[in-house]
Structure 1
Amino acid sequence: MKYRVTWRRVVSMLLCGVMLAGGVTGCGKKEASLSEEKIINYDMPAEGEKIVELNIKDYGTVKIRLFAEECPKAVENFLGLVEQKYYDELIFHRVVKDFVIQGGDPKGNGTGGESMWGTGFKQEISSKLCHFEGALAYAVASDKLNNSQFYIVTGTTVTEQTFEQLKAYGKTYSDQVKQMYYEHGGQPYLDGDYTVFGQVIEGLDICKKINDVAVDSKSKPKEQVTIESMKVTEYHAQ
C-alpha cells in the first residue's frame, strides 16, 4: 500500500460532485460550532513541554510542538518512534511544491513504515487543529490508519475562492479560521481527512527550502534529503 496525502483526490471529489457530509466548522470535526472551539496550531508550548527536534542533513533543525491532549495516541506513537531512532537516516521521499514534504518510510518509496505497536491505529482528527502551513500530520493508505509516515504542510496562498469551492459541497469555515488561512496559508482541502498532531514552531524556512528541491516524475527529490536524526527535548522560551 502507498501512504500519501493528496490534494488532487480531494479536489477531484469536489469537482465530481461528491458531497462532503455535514459542515466542517472546525478543522475536521463535522457539524461542530467553531465558536465553541479555539484553534491551537499557533499556541506556543509551555515552558519545559516536550517538543521534537528534526535535524535534516545540510539544511538544519526544525522544532515541532506536539498536541498530546488532542491526539494522544498520535503523539505517543511519534514520540515512541523518535525515541527508538526509527526516523534517523530516513529520507523525505516525497516533495510536492506548495503542498507538503513527506517522510517516515524505511523503504523510501511511500509503501513502508509501521507504528510503534507494529499495526496501524485510528485517526484522531481534532477540530482545534488545521492544515495551516507548518502543520505536522500522518499520511495514510487506503485503510485510513496512521503508522509512521508523516508530512509537513508547506502550504500555498488561500483565497475566498478556495472556501467558496468547499462551501459549494457542504464544507464550511468560520471567519476566524478563514482569516488564519489567509494569514498563514495552508491546505484546507485536507482538513477532516488526516490527523494533524503537531506544528512547526521553528525552522519553517527550512521546510520551505526543501519544498523547492528538484524532484522526479514521482515527486521524489533527485538529491536525497535525509533526516540525520530526531530527538525529544524540552521547550524553553528564548
Structure 2
Amino acid sequence: MPLGFDGKLLEGTHTVTLKTSEGDITLALNADKAPKTVTNFIVLAKAGYYDGLTFHRVIPDFMIQGGDPNGDGTGGESVFGPTFEDEISDIPMERGVIAMANRGPDTNGSQFFIIQRQDGTPWLEGLHTAFGKVMEGMDIVDKITKVKRDPMDRPLEAVTLEVKIEK
C-alpha cells in the first residue's frame, strides 16, 4: 500500500484539478457512487503518482485517456493491489464524465479517461466505472482531442498532467 493510505474508503464529493500542459480541468469525484475508485484516484494523486504522466491516448469525438506510468496503455496499478473490482453505478457515460480504463471486468488500476463525445458513450455503460464529472475545463478536453497524433492515437507532442486535490 502506498504511503498515506490507511485502508479507509472516502465518502462524499471531492474536487480535483488536472493541471495539463494544455490547461486546467476541474473534476468533481463522487465517492458515494464509487468509493474504492475515488479513494484509489485521490491516494495515488496525493502520492504524486500521476504527476508528469501523459494523456497517452487521444481520440477526437470520443475521449482522452491517461494515468499510465508506461505511457502506452499497458501500465498502472491501484492502492488495493495490481487491480480492483468495478463499481458500476447509475452515473451515465455522458460528455465530461471521468471513468476508469480497463482490460475487462474488474481490472481497474490507475488509468482513466474523460469522455469528450458530444452524445456520450452509452455503449460503455456497465463496462467501466464512472466516478466523476468535469466541472470546468471541457474546452481543455476538447483542445487535447485536437492535438496531432500518430495512427495509434498517441499525441505526437506529450500532453502532460499533474493532479491537485482541491477538497
Same fold, judged at TM 0.5 (above) = yes
**Cα displacement (A) at 1:108:** 0.4
Match of 1:233 in 2: 166
> 1:34-113, aligned counterparts within 5 Å?
50-57=14-21, 59-113=22-76
- Among 148, 153, 175, which residue is 2:115 paired with? 153
Cα distance, 1:102 vs structure 2: 0.2
Q: 4+ residue stretches of structure 1 with deviation over 2 A?
A: none
Which structure carries more strand by proportion? 2
The structure with the larger Rg is 1
The residue aligned with 2:93 is 131
Letter in 2 for 1:89: G
CA–CA separation in structure 2 for the residues paired with 1:143 and 1:130? 18
Aligned residues: 156
Task: Tell me the distance in 2 between the aligned counterparts of 1:70 and 1:124.
Answer: 8
* Aligned residue number for residue 25 of structure 1: none
Q: CA deviation at 1:143?
A: 5.2
* C-alpha distance after superposition, 1:149-187 (max 9, x if no partner): 00000013xxxxxxxxxxxxxxxxxxxxxxxxxxxx211
Residue ranges of structure 2 left out of the alignment (5+ in a row) = 1-11
CA distance in 2, matches of 1:52, 1:112: 22
Structure 1 runs not aligned, ≥5 long: 1-45, 157-184
1:79-98 deviations in Å (ceiling 9; x for gaps): 00110110000010000110
User: How much has 1:144 moved relative to structure 2?
Assistant: 3.6
Alignment equivalent of 2:152, drawn from 218, 221, 224 = 218
Amino acid at match of 1:96: I
Report the 3-state secondary structure (helix = DSSP H, G, I; strand = E; otherwise coil) of the residue aligned with 1:151. Answer: strand
Indicate the percent of aligned positions where both proteins have the same amino acid: 44
What is residue 140 of structure 1 aligned with on the other side? Answer: 102
**2:85–2:105 Cα contact (<8 Å) kept:** no
> Is 2:75 the partner of 1:115?
no
More helix by share: 1
Q: CA deviation at 1:213?
A: 1.1
Q: Secondary structure at the match of 2:18?
A: strand
Deviates more, 1:136-145 or 1:206-215: 136-145
TM-score, normalised to structure 1's length? Answer: 0.63
What is the RMSD computed on CA atoms of the aligned residues? 1.3
Q: Which amino acid aligns with 1:51?
A: T
Q: Hey, what does 2:140 align to over in structure 1?
A: 206
Distance in 2 (alpha carbons) for counterparts of 1:216 and 1:78 = 28
Cα distance between partner residues in 2 of 1:97 and 1:125? 25
Query: How far is the alpha carbon of 1:214 from its aligned partner?
Result: 1.4
Cα deviation code 1:173-221 (max 9, x no counterpart): xxxxxxxxxxxx2111111110000100000100010011111111101
